Structure formats: C-alpha cells, structure tokens
Structure 1
Amino acid sequence: MTTGGIARQVVLRAAATAAGPALLLRRWTTADADALVEAYRDPVLRAWTRLGVPDAGAAVRWVEAQRTGWEGGGRLSFAVVEEEPGGGRVAGNVVLKRPEPAGPAGEVGYWTAAHARGRGVAPRALQVLTDWVFETFAGQGLEYLELMHQVDNTASCRVAEKAGYGFERVLPAVPPFPRDGHLHLRWATGGPVPG
C-alpha cells in the first residue's frame, strides 16, 4: 500500500562500522516520544533546531507531524536507530522535504542525539537516505538535493561533505535564521548538466 505514492513501510539500513553499530532508518512512532524528549534536552541540538520537544505531549505532536508529512508526501522523516542486541536506541533523525513533488529539488536535514555523536551516525544515515531518495524519485524529475546549515555549525558542514554534498554558496540570514548559512548540493547525476 502506498501513501502519497510512497510505500508506507520504508525501512533503510546502514552497515555497522568500527565506530558504531548498524543503523536502521524507519518511520517515527509514538513509542519514540521518550527518546525525542531526551534528545531535545541536549542544548547543542536545541541550538541548531527551530522547534523544541520539551515533554511527552510535544513529542506526540512532533511524531504526528511526521506522520502527516508521510501521508502528504512532502516531508519524509526517518528515526535513525542504532541496531543492538535486544532492540535499539534512537540516535537521530534524517528527513527529505519535497514541497513541490514534481520539482527538480528536494531538501535534506538531520540531527544526531548527544549519545550518538562522533561515531559517524549522521553521515551514514544521510548517505543511505540520499541513495534511497535518488533511486525512489528518479522518474519524478528530482535532479538535486539541498542541504543547509548555519555558517557556524561546523559539524554539519563536515557531515555534508562526508555524505558527498558539495559546498555551493553562502546564504544571507533570513528570519527565523539569525545567521548566514551554507548551501550544499548533491546532484543525482554527480553534477549539474552543462547547458
């Protein structure tokens, strides 16, 4: 069964590395509410995100917003879970935003929980998401993905580069973003097609 033209139960995987266990990328559920609240207690995460998740009620609303995004097809958000014996722990989030499904561009975003930083979670999850996006939407006109972050978020800049998103240009600050940003791009074909 599909919703918005996308399979309901998309599950993606990234292999284990010396730095960390295998990753499972799956849709968010209300069972993840406590993990979301815990992740958003981290002041580093809060510094780079616009929305907070201060309690269980806010977490359930956040998960519901992700479900709505899947239903409409314009925001496909994945919980990134470290696969471990007996279960797994939420390690982050990756998301594809495509407000214009027939357009040439999409935008990706991510965050990593404090306990999972420094083990390559974000670049591995972003790479798996990127590969899936270009394969899944190849016939729908998707040409490139954008990744944006504030200029002073050097960790996000490193993640972008590790996942093959080349630096494109500096973006001027526009509310609600208080600082200039970086725009990184990744092309489905490896680069822009010469005109």
Structure 2
Amino acid sequence: MLIELRAPAVSPARDLALRPWCADDLDALVDAYRDPVLRRWTRLPVTNAAEARQWLDRVRRDWDDGSRYSFAVLQDDPDGPRLVANVVLKNATPDGPTAEVGYWTAVWARGRGIAPRAVVALSGWAFDRSPGLTRLDLMHQVDNVASCRVAQKSGYIFQEGLPARPPFPLDGHRHSLTAG
C-alpha cells in the first residue's frame, strides 16, 4: 500500500510517498532517532538496531491487529527515496467515530512543510478507509509549538486544553479535523 501525495504548486522533487514501514527501514529509523529533539517527543526509544527491530515489529503487529497504522514518509533524493518522517493513525477501530493522528519529522526534513503534507495525506486516507470515522484528533504538549503549527497547517482546529497525563508531564492541546 502506497499513498502518493502530489500537492499543487509543489515541484515534483518535493513529492512524498507514504507506505507501511518495512525491515529495510531499520538503518534510516536508527538515524532519525539520533536526534535528541525527536527523542524528547517520542515515548519509545530507538537507539540501536535491536530497538529498531522491536519498533518495526510493534508497528507490524499494530497493522495486523488493525489498531494503529504507521507509515514511513519518503521523499525523492538524488540517491533514491529518503525517510523524512513518520505518520500514524492511532486508536483506530472498525467503524469507530474517532481516531488520533501522530507524527514525527526527521531533523534533516524539518521546516520544509513535510509534516503538514504527510498529516493531510494520512487524514484523507483515514477518512476514505473508514466510513464511520467522523473526527481525527492531533494532540501535543503545550510546549511543543512546532506540533501546534503542524496541526494548524494541516487544517486541524484547536478544540481544548488537556491536563497532563502519563506519559506526558505537561498539559496539552487537542486539535481536531472532521470528515467532509
């Protein structure tokens, strides 16, 4: 399964492809997680090949049980497609009315509009595949200003402040996008 994203007024070299993670992504995953900023906002550490294999195994199990769909986001590079981000549909249930969107962006891809474009693509895919889905939420800690901007650029509307709850030590924001 591959989701192609071709945005108007964006050069073909900036096109993104979303696809399920695979074993060949192990080295790129470890490289992405070398970034301390990425590690700050994610719950599961990936510091070596063994942890990357566990992460990829967990992602595959989640796909198989239909509860969570993680996509590697790739961008064309002179040497071939390069991993630039991850987007995930969380808490997905068949015909459930709500689910959550999450993402991270590799340090080498930040500031180029990749996260909002990938979130928009994932959101469209989620609504297309689940007719009962009426709302997607994107949540982040209040101090994650970049995630707030991604939510806004992706069309997600601020809904409410959320109290801190494990594993997140600070209050958060909930942004939502509704079907249609």
Q: Above 0.5 in TM-score? A: yes
Q: Residues 73 and 98 of structure 1 are in contact (CA less than 8 Å); yes or no, is this contact kept in structure 2?
A: no
Q: Percent identical across equivalent pairs?
A: 54
SS of the counterpart of 1:62? helix
Identify the residue that residue 38 of structure 1 maps to in structure 2.
31
2:64 is the alignment partner of 1:68: no
2:135 is the alignment partner of 1:144: yes
1:176 CA displacement: 1.3
SS of the counterpart of 2:81? strand
Q: 1:110 aligns with which of 103, 117, 135?
A: 103
Distance in 2 of aligned mates of 1:113 and 1:126:
14
Distance in 1 of aligned mates of 2:61 and 2:92:
13
Distance in 2 of aligned mates of 1:53 and 1:18:
33
Runs of 4+ in structure 1 deviating by more than 6 angstroms, as ranges, are: none
Distance in 2 of aligned mates of 1:162 and 1:18:
19
Instruction: Encode CA deviations 1:128-175: one digit per residue, 9 max, x unaligned.
Output: 11111111112xx21100110000101000000111100000000011
Distance in 1 of aligned mates of 2:11 and 2:22:
29
Identify the residue that residue 11 of structure 1 maps to in structure 2.
2
Q: Residues 94 and 130 of structure 2 are in contact (CA less than 8 Å); yes or no, is this contact kept in structure 1?
A: no
Letter in 2 for 1:149: H
1:86 CA displacement: 4.5
Q: Residues 82 and 88 of structure 1 are in contact (CA less than 8 Å); yes or no, is this contact kept in structure 2?
A: yes
1:78 CA displacement: 0.2
Identify the residue that residue 126 of structure 2 maps to in structure 1.
133
1:126 CA displacement: 0.5
Letter in 2 for 1:178: P
2:153 is the alignment partner of 1:172: no
TM-score scaled to structure 2, two decimals?
0.94
1:104 CA displacement: 0.8
Instruction: Encode CA deviations 1:92-126: one digit per residue, 9 max, x unaligned.
Output: 10000134333210110000000000111100000
Superposed CA RMSD in Å reads 1.5
Change (3 A) 1:71 1:31: same
Letter in 1 for 2:14: P
2:174 is the alignment partner of 1:183: yes
Instruction: Encode CA deviations 1:48-86: one digit per residue, 9 max, x unaligned.
Output: 111110000110111111111111111000000112345
Distance in 2 of aligned mates of 1:86 and 1:44:
26
Q: Which runs of 5+ in 2 are unaligned?
A: none
Distance in 2 of aligned mates of 1:15 and 1:104:
28
- Aligned residue pairs total 178
TM-score scaled to structure 1, two decimals?
0.87
Distance in 1 of aligned mates of 2:6 and 2:27:
26
Instruction: Encode CA deviations 1:19-76: one digit per residue, 9 max, x unaligned.
Output: 9621110010111111111111101101111111000011011111111111111100
1:14 CA displacement: 1.6
